[in-house]
Amino acid sequence: MEKMPNLETIQETIAALSKAAAESDHTIALIGAGSAGVEISRMDQYSDIDFFLIVEDGFSSRFINDNSWFSQILPIAFAFRDTDHGNKALLQNRVFLEFAIFTEAGLAEH
């Protein structure tokens, strides 16, 4: 049985996601939620990473349909479309991601 990722791996994954978002064209912000956001003191080795990626208007489907903006540095073991706005992904490092992609205009609607 594979063991759960440790807290350091989860924190390194958050840093890598932040870097990937910052280096991607058409991204505006990556916002952590739950224990990956303001409540980071709750994070432990069982935590997943919940986040919102805010992108320029007109680019949401590109980011929803193509996870390559982060999969180059964080290889994906399994991923699937979860909602109209987001995906879930299990990374090869065993960290689980739940995320939604919104544009500036779309964010105002939600």
Look at residues 73, 55, 74, 75 and name the one whose alpha carbon lies nearest to residue 64.
55
How far apart, in whole angstroms, are the C-alpha atoms of residue 56 and residue 65?
A: 15
Residues 21/67, Cβ–Cβ less than 8 Å: no
User: How far, in Å, CA of 17 to CA of 35, rounded?
Assistant: 15
pLDDT in tens, 43-55: 677 778 999 999 9
pTM of the model: 0.86
Give the mean model confidence (pLDDT) for residues 18-26.
95
Q: Tokens at residue 93, please?
A: 């490092």
Query: How far, in Å, are 71, 95, 103, 105 from residue 109 at the CA level?
Result: 28, 30, 10, 7
Digit-coded pLDDT (tens) for 23-32: 999 999 999 8
Mean of per-residue pLDDT scores for the chain:
88
